[in-house]
Amino acid sequence: MFHGGGWITYLRYDDETARPDIDRALLRRVWRYGRPYRRYLLGVLVTVLVISALGVVPPILIRLVVDEAIPEGDLGKLTLLGAGMIAVPVVNALVGVAQRWWSSRAGEGIIFDLRRQLFEHLQQMSLRFFTATKTGELVSRVDNDVVGAQQAITGTFVSILSNLAAVTAILVVMVRADWRLTVLAVLALPLFVAPARRVARLLRRISEQQMEHNANMSSILAETFNVSGALLVKLFGRERYEAERFAREAARVRDLGVRRAMVGRWFFASLGLVSAVGTAAVFWVGGFFVIQGGVSLGTIIMFSTLLTQLYGPLSAISNSRVEFATSLVSFERVFDVLDLDVDLPEAVDAVDLGRVRGEVVFDHVWFRYQTDGPEGLDRVGKLPTVGDAPAPAATRDWALADVSFRVEPGQLVALVGPSGAGKTTISYLVPRLYDPTRGKVTIDGHDVRDVTRSSLADAIGVVTQETYLFHDTIAANLRYARLDATPEELEDACRAANIHEFIMSLPDGYDTVVGERGYRLSGGEKQRIAIARVILKDPRILILDEATSHLDSRSEALIQEALERVMAERTSLVIAHRLSTVRAADLILVLDEGRLVEAGTHDELVSAGGLYAMLYETQFRHAQPA
């Protein structure tokens, strides 16, 4: 588990005995999640004691019936004892209901707290985290492991308390009745204590493997059940391949489940055998005592009933350390995520940008995407932090290499260059989706690492190359930019993006559900909704990454006209392959292999005869102007 500068294993094992050692720090941390619900947990404890006490009452009543009511011929006592036998399970059921209510309130509250904390923590992680981690792994931690963690408190912990209380109550009654038979009953315990410990360790290993393969199965589901994944599977005809891949993981989960069930079944079978041996011994010795006149028949019957309730809890108590450590596996997996350092933290003294003018400056910026290191959730914790990355051996290893430029407020800047030149990387650094490895990016003189996330997000509007829409209505997707936007404001933004008429032609208008990732809409329609969304946001800085690449000439002309109005008096960074956008730019930045190789206006760069002139001849000249 990653924490600060290193990895901490909370459940440690001795190599020879493989006996888990429970760290007190872990227990204190676990208890922090139970503390807000201590009233409910106290209620559970009280009901555990009551139920344990009620558990020994029926055998005592049976003893009184056999030893007193029947021999004395006392019908009234017999009736009273019979009524007691009916009342005990009724009271037991009512107390059980109360226990279940308190337990569920505590358990579900703990689940809620863990899930909320996990989700909030993951929301603070950088884009790098999500590119390095499988979605299914995260879903498994937030869903399955959180439930398992809750069971450690409201399941295993309560079970241990119940067993302790039950054994205490049973032994008190047995010792008071006959200490000799009690010693004889307890002597059978060592016959299954050692096997119980080994079984618990084996079940722990099986549980860990099941969690791992369940996470793998969740990853496959997340990758293939989203629309993009399903489309890729169908286009390449890999339905059988994916089915077999899923079946392999599901088969491992199945086999481990069968193994776990069989291990448990054999253990309980042996437990039943030992219990039978102990009961038989007590009956034989007790019968001898009855014959000799030292013990009553009712006492033997009471002992036989109590023995069936004794061996299970005794075995669990003897192995409670192992069982409790095993139940904490889920907590450990949850803490794996919570202990991941936020790799793009907000500065403690972060300032609000306030009224943004829109000046953007790249000051000797170097950046490279981290591609080495382990995969999965462990990856992020081991990645070097900003500024710690070693210099690559070659410049080509950098996505951006010593890039410097200044964009004045209100300027339209076009980013051009071959694929992989670093254009999109620049668009990621301005809104701080990543931090520069070296150098800095500033807005109005403020390093983006020193400003609040909220003010940075308010100042910048981005239309990404791949438009993402939630499986919700068009109106809900638009309001993601401004939650309090009125219907009139939605309509104005959509008119500006030339999408209002299309929306109104749909049967449900703005209440039309767009489907998973917006796949019910065409690429151009999604792009225009994305543009309308950023128009609704009304930011001071616009970043358009191939914003009109999916539009036909007519739609593009209308969008370009709208964007000209929107970009007026705003700073705009546009990744463009369209001649109209490039010519209209106040400044063109030409990138190649991560370096800024040229900067100037269209006419200046064409006259210079460099890379831009070549791109103009091969790419822009034949593009249809808007």
Please report, for the chain, the start and end positions of each structural domain, with discontinuous segments joined by +: 22-338, 360-370+396-468+540-620
Question: What is the tens place of the pLDDT at every residue in 436-479?
Answer: 999 999 999 999 999 998 899 889 988 877 777 888 898 998 99
Convert 491-524 to b/e letters by CB count within 10 Å (16 or more is b).
Answer: bbbbebbbbbebbeeeeeebeeebeebbbbbeeb
Pairing of strands 460-463, 11-13: unpaired
End-to-end CA gap in the chain: 55
- The one-letter amino acid code at 564 reads E
Evaluate whether 382 touches 2 at the Cβ level (below 8 Å).
yes
Q: What is the spatial distance between Cα 444 and Cα 140, in angstroms, rounded to a whole number?
A: 42
- Helix (H/G/I), strand (E/B), else coil: 476: helix
* Full strand arrangement of the beta sheet holding 400-407: 400-407, 360-367, 438-443, 446-447
Q: Each residue of 163-216: pLDDT tens digit? A: 888 888 888 888 888 888 888 877 766 766 666 667 777 777 887 788 788 878
The 10s digit of each residue's pLDDT in 367-390 is 988 754 444 455 444 443 333 444
Q: How many CB atoms lie within 10 A of CB 166?
A: 24
The answer to whether 600 and 588 have CB atoms below 8 angstroms apart is yes
CB environment 285-301: b (16+ within 10 A), e (fewer): bbeebbeeeebbebbbb
H or E segment to which residue 368 belongs:
none
In this prediction, what percent of the chain has a pLDDT beyond 70?
A: 83
Q: What string of DSSP letters covers 111-164?
A: HHHHHHHHHHHHHTS-HHHHHHS-HHHHHHIIIIIHHHHHHIIIIIIHHHHHHH
What are the φ/ψ torsions at residue 106 (nearest 5 degrees)?
Answer: -70, -45
C-beta of residue 572 within 8 angstroms of C-beta of residue 553:
no
The residue type found at 512 is: T
On the 0-12 / 13-18 / 19+ scale of CB atoms within 10 A, 123 is: exposed
- Please report, for residues 130, 209, 458, 612, the alpha-carbon distance to residue 379 in angstroms, rounded to integers and kept in the order given: 11, 20, 31, 39
Q: 545: part of which helix (H) or strand (E)?
A: strand 541-545
pLDDT at 430 over 90: yes
Residue 233, C-beta contacts closer than 8 angstroms, at least 6 positions apart = 224, 239, 242
* Residue linked to tokens 């600060």: 4
Cα dist from 550 to 453, 497, 526, whole Å: 31, 14, 9
The DSSP call for residue 295 is S
Q: Is pLDDT at 531 greater than 70 in this prediction?
A: yes
Superfamily of domain 22-338: ABC transporter type 1, transmembrane domain (1.20.1560.10)
pLDDT band at 413 (very low <50, low <70, confident <90, very high): very high
Length of the chain: 626
In the structure encoding, which two tokens stand for residue 234, read together? 């169908």
The model's pLDDT over 535-551, given as tens digits with 9 standing for 90+, comes to: 888 899 999 876 555 55
Mean pLDDT, range 405-422, rounded to an integer: 91
Nearest alpha carbon to residue 470 among 424, 410, 533? 533
Which tokens in the block code for residue 396?
Answer: 């080509």
d(CA 410, CA 46): 69
Closest CA to 142 of 126, 122, 127, 128: 122
pLDDT at 108: 85
Class at the top of the CATH hierarchy for domain 360-370+396-468+540-620? alpha beta
Q: Name the H helices within 154-238.
A: 158-177, 179-186, 190-225, 227-235
Read off φ and ψ for residue 200, nearest 5 degrees: -65, -40
Which pLDDT value is given to residue 124?
83
Condensed to tens digits (0 to 9), the pLDDT of residues 283-339 reads 788 888 888 877 888 888 888 788 878 877 876 776 666 667 666 777 888 888 888
